[in-house]
Structure 1
Amino acid sequence: MKSTFRRLVAVSVGIVAAVALTAGATSAAAAPGGGKGGPHAAPPILTAAGCAALADLTIPAKAIDLPTQGADIETAVWDAAGSYCAVTGWIRAVTAPQDMQFRVNLPASWNGRTLQFGGGGFDGSLVTATGAYTAQPAGTPTALSQGWVTLGSDGGHQGGPGFDGTFQLNEELFLNYGQWSVKKAHDAAAAVIDAAYGVDAQWSYFIGGSQGGHEALDAAARYPKDYDGIVANYPAYNVTMMHVGAVNFRDALQLEGGAGHLNAAETATITNAVYAACDGLDGAADGIVSDVAGCDETFDIQTLACPAGVDPATVDTCLSDVEIEAVVKITTDYDLGIEIEGNSIFAKSALLQGALYQGFAGFGTSAQSQGLQFQVFSATMRYGVAGDPPGFDPYTVDPLDYADRVQEVGEIMDVTDVSLNQFRAHGGKVILTHGTIDDFITPHNTVQYWEALEDEFGKRLDRFAKFYMVPGWGHGQGRFVAQYDALGAIVDWVENGVAPSGLVASDGNAGADRTRPMCEYPAWPQYTGTGSIDDASSFTCVTG
């Protein structure tokens, strides 16, 4: 397995080096009719007949700057109602047992821009890129309907539902998921675009959340000359650390033979107490904890200890000493003892800052039937790290026994220490977001990434990257489901030099009608004391 990985990486390194030498000339030639400084002289037009002709397109391997055997178009279908051509195709694998599927949507009248959509979870199914992008405001027109070319892929493999990690046994599929699928889909789409319109894209963007946020950062960091702007929402940039480091959750819930496990009712007891203590710290009793630092100072988990004479095993309204120990363990930074891409710290959970840990992200029904954090730990440890050995037991496996392979998997999947400097030098722009109550990818994970960027770039960081922490937003759900005009903001910054300012998020929860200012980290929205608490104008961004 390792020899295949090293051979593929060696091929990739050589290709990427060649791309770096030629990409400047490619980008300069990519904008007919005015170059990067202006729009095409006339919008490129595609007809139904032109769409049908694309069904015969074959893309040579040399058009895709990573190891493939080229690509073939499977279907090219004209959507008369939407006035676009839906093209699906397959990028042929080198040695893997699966090819990679991609999709490109070509509008009849093209505005010269492309928007690549990210995937989610373990990917494994085709992203059609016809609907809303991650966190797009409800009811606003899609990029495709506005004349954008949109594209997506299956992330480099096809997989079963949930977290099916079997693809990790094949290093080519693993590399596709970890970093290659972004580039392969981009290059295949570029060949389709050229065949359809006869011109290249002037501006290329990427938007995604979770694994799609990871892919957005891959786009910027690994392929900096291919993209002009990216939006990474709650990104899984360090997949290996997130999955393997979740051993901390496993061990916390298994304390003293499983006595540390927190059921849904006990978890609700914790979060209800957090909100009771911290909701009003921002001046507005609105079900959102905005002043996270103030909450850390205000709330003490020990206040939930069961009083003398109460058997914790019989009630869910207080916690045993072991359960409190489990909470403290989960909400404390954990040193894995293995450095993955320059970092050994699995960031603490936001459980004591408003994260809900209910439903899909809960702790499961018992210490031997744990929830989402355990599922991803088990999948990556079993397949990607250990190689699916006989008798593998995810409840007892020790990542330290596989330290070398964990580090190698980090090289495949993580973008932790891949610099954004070339992207910055190319003129690229980044919008980064996370929600304060994310109960799958802790917000403190993205804070780690941002602080590393601050260390690397200092005052230069603000010139090309913005980070917004959104109170009440979880992992695509939560008390406040943030929706904001990311596409408008990133386009204005890239193409007009206007940095994002005054961004406002609306709450996408059913029946909600409220907005909040999006504050640049570390600021948070505080109620001014006047006006509706449902209106962003009634809040100001503060750091104190």
Structure 2
Amino acid sequence: MKTLIKKTKILAILLMVFLSLGACKTKPTKTVTCETATIVDLPEVTIVSVTQETGMAPHCKIAGIIGTDIKFELLLPHDWNGKFVMGGGGGYVGSVINTALAYGVLQKGYATVGTDTGHEGHPLSGSWALNNPEAIVNFGHLGVHRTTVTAKAIIEAYYEQEIDYSYFFGCSRGGGQALMEAQRYPDDFDGIVSGAPAYDWVNGIGAGMVHNQRYMYPNPNEIGDPLISRDDLQLVFDTYMAMCDKLDGVEDGVLLDPRACPFDIESLLCEGEENGKCLSQEKVTALKAIYEGPKGENGQIFPGFPIGLETNLDGWFKWMTGGVNHLEDADEFQAGVTSEIEAPVVPNAQFGFGVDMLKYFVYHDENWDYVDYDLNQLEYDARVIAKTMNATDPDLSEFRSNGGKLLMYTGWGDMAITPLGTIAYYEDVIKNDPTAEKDVKLFMMPGVGHCFGGDGPFWVNWVDEIDNWVSGSNTPDQIAVYYLDETMQPTGTNKLCPYPQVAIYDGTGDPKDISSYSCGELRIE
């Protein structure tokens, strides 16, 4: 069965939902149009076009190139609210992407920009990186930074006043860009939102995804059908849900924290032949390896995946299993991230990202594959590329000393970037400096997939949340999250709490009413 709504349509509907929830536009500080403003000349910046646009809100669209390859599109609303937000990319990017637009930023008066990070290609393909170190550096961190600096200069000259607040929003690759900005360029933004961050490209994307695909497709040339079928995943899901769905007091097909469920995949091992109620040893071994994550001679390489979204097409099917014989059921891997370039033929998104990371970024060998590959050698072989690609530094002191706020979020059902990895980075930040919890907050979203969607409530306007926090109007000690129906209309609310707290149900109220929940520790009944 196909997904009910294509992601591009979802984005448009989400904007209508956003407006219907009563979000009001910030009072503009100045009205400017393309005809009344001068576009500043900047070194190494070529302005390709300046056009008057009416879509979303009246604005001036400036398209340009930084250096020789970094393309950007800057949208300048006529009624500017004095603020700037950059939207991050997704996957391997490859075209100008601005995911902040999904949150109504232009309608609310934000100046906003997106970039292709310096190369062209499908966001699921890393082939452009082959023997191209300049493109890798631009993709790794420099493209976003140079776009930020350029956009700020144009904005302030265009409106003839300084920017009040500058924000970055990104999820997935954009979430990794967000962490890179906080770590490497702490002066760029006042507030940063990092969703489901792809922050460790060597161990998380490279080792982690290749590890998973070796079990799902032992022969990388036979990618028609995965080892684990949808029926197998349904059995797994039904088994642990029967065991753990009621642990949080609400029977809703969503686990509040999957780590609280004592499910053991080995309990489904067949004593004889497979019969639909058990799994073969090969399948149990594969599932256990994915849940546990890659391990090497020095221990855990990267966290594995928790149980979750095994039966959702946006979960395991899209990211881990799939199969080229089933591509008719596939959809875009991330909302707001589209491309006119033909997608590579891969069985699932993890196969594309993980294999291409090692093939084109680490080994620069088009013929590389994971057959007989020893993951123990990756840390040494990738030691140079890790310095460019990874955003793993837990020291955010300079960003915080500038008054910066970092808001992180991820879904417990994210089968693209393991939520356990996001938690591990957050805990490293707090361990490095316990006072960082005042300026860095993580929100875990039960039943939510990669960036949004899934079986749980997922709609939050993250740009509003970071703006409210930085401007001082509201500290995110708790956040309202909306349930949406198949037409993306709100059907209820729930509560997100800063990690490690969770939203505790009071036991009597409406399970889809935020007033029925309070932040606290998970109680196992």
Query: 5 Å matches for 1:335-346?
Result: 335-336=295-296, 345-346=301-302
1:351, 1:439 within 8 Å by CA — same for their partners in 2?
Answer: no
What CA distance in whole angstroms lies between the structure 1 residues aligned with 2:437 and 2:381? Answer: 36
Q: Deviations over 1:469-505 (max 9, x none)?
A: 1100111321125111322222222122642123111
What's the counterpart of residue 530 of structure 1? 508
The residue type equivalent to 1:471 in the other structure is P
Q: Tell me how far apart the structure 1 counterparts of residues 186 and 256 of structure 2 sit (CA, whole Å).
A: 34
In 2 relative to 1, CA 348–197 (structure 1 residues): closer, same or farther, beyond 3 Å?
Answer: same
Q: Residues 359 and 323 of structure 1: is their aligned pair in 2 closer, same or farther, counting only changes over 3 Å?
A: closer
Identical positions, percent: 28
Does the Cα contact within 8 Å between 1:290 and 1:526 map onto a contact in 2? Answer: no
Aligned to 2:42: 59
Query: In 2, Cα distance between the equivalents of 1:204 and 1:403?
Result: 36
Q: TM-score, normalised by structure 1?
A: 0.79
Does residue 425 of the first structure (1) align with residue 408 of the second (2)? no
The alignment's C-alpha RMSD in Å is 2.9
Cα pair distance change 1:149/1:337, threshold 3 Å: farther
SS in 1 for 2:240: helix
Give the secondary structure class of the aligned counterpart of 2:152.
helix
Matched residues in 1 for 2:41 and 2:376: separation? 46
Aligned counterparts of 1:130 and 1:471: Cα–Cα separation in 2 = 23
Q: 1:539, 1:481 → 2: CA distance?
A: 14
Structure 2 match to 1:204? 166
* Offset at residue 402 of structure 1 (A): 5.0
Query: 1:498 and 1:477 mapped to 2: Cα distance?
Result: 26
The structural deviation recorded for 1:303 is: 2.8
Residue type of the partner of 1:216? A
Task: Please state whether the residue corresponding to 2:371 is helix, strand or coil.
Answer: coil
Cα distance, 1:279 vs structure 2? 1.4
Alignment match, 1:71: 45
Q: 1:514 is paired with a residue of what secondary structure?
A: strand
Does 2:91 correspond to 1:121?
yes
Q: Which residue does the alignment assign to 2:194?
A: 232
Q: Secondary structure at the match of 1:412?
A: helix
Partner of 1:500: 476
Tell me how far 1:372 sits from its aligned partner.
Answer: 2.5
Relative to 1, partners in 2 of residues 1:468 and 1:48: Cα closer, same or farther, differing over 3 Å?
same
Distance across 2 between alignment mates of 1:453 and 1:410: 19
Task: Give the match for residue 449 of structure 2.
Answer: 474
Aligned pairs, number: 468
1:159 aligns with 2:129: no
- Secondary structure of 1:331's match? helix
Contact 1:292 1:353 in 2 (8 A): no
Task: Give the deviation of 1:320 after TM superposition.
Answer: 1.0
Counterparts of 1:351-362 in structure 2, within 5 Å, are 351=307, 356=312, 357-362=315-320
1:76 to partner: Cα distance: 1.0
Contact 2:309 2:449 in 1 (8 A): no
Q: Does 1:287 align with 2:253?
A: yes
Task: Tell me the residue number matched to 2:363.
Answer: 386
The 3 A distance-change label for structure 1 pair 75 and 354 is same
User: Given the alignment, which residue of 210, 217, 223 partners 2:179?
Assistant: 217
Shift of 1:509: 4.8
Give 1:31-42 correspondences, 5 Å limit.
Answer: none
Aligned amino acid, residue 232 of structure 2: E
Contact 2:32 2:159 in 1 (8 A): yes
Q: Which residue of 1 aligns with 2:9?
A: none
User: Greater CA radius of gyration, 1 or 2?
Assistant: 1
Which residue in the other structure is 1:441 paired with? 417
Equivalent residue number for residue 74 of structure 2: 104
Give CA-to-partner distance per residue, 1:216-265, whole Å, 9 cap, x none.
Answer: 11121111112100111111111222222123213433679999921222
1:412 lines up with 2:398 in the alignment: no
TM-score (norm 2): 0.82
Structure 1 contact 382–394 (Cα < 8 Å) conserved: no
3-state SS of paired residue (1:105): strand
- The alignment status of 1:334 with 2:294, answered yes or no, reads yes
Of the candidates 30, 50, 53, which is equivalent to residue 44 of structure 1? 30
Measure, in 2, the Cα distance between the counterparts of 1:432 and 1:149: 23
The structural deviation recorded for 1:105 is 0.9
Residue number in structure 2 paired with 1:83: 58
3-state SS of the aligned residue for 2:382?
A: helix
Deviations 1:311-339 (A, max 9, x none): 22xx444201221122211111433458x
Contact map agreement 2:97 2:114 (CA 8 A) in 1 = yes
Compute the displacement of 1:46 (Å): 1.2
For residues 99 and 502 of structure 2, what CA distance do their matches in structure 1 show?
A: 32
CA distance change for structure 1 residues 369 and 322 in 2, over 3 Å: closer, same or farther? farther
Please name the residue that 2:212 is paired with: 249
Preserved contact between residue 216 and residue 231 of structure 1 (Cα < 8 Å): yes
3-state SS of 1:206 partner: strand
Partner amino acid, structure 2, of 1:115: V
CA–CA separation in structure 2 for the residues paired with 1:274 and 1:540: 26
CA distance in 1, matches of 2:130, 2:416: 21
Cα distance in 1 for partners of 2:282, 2:380 equals: 33
- Which consecutive unaligned segments of at least 5 residues does structure 1 have? 1-39, 61-69, 94-98, 134-141
Question: How far apart are 1:468 and its partner, in Å?
Answer: 0.7
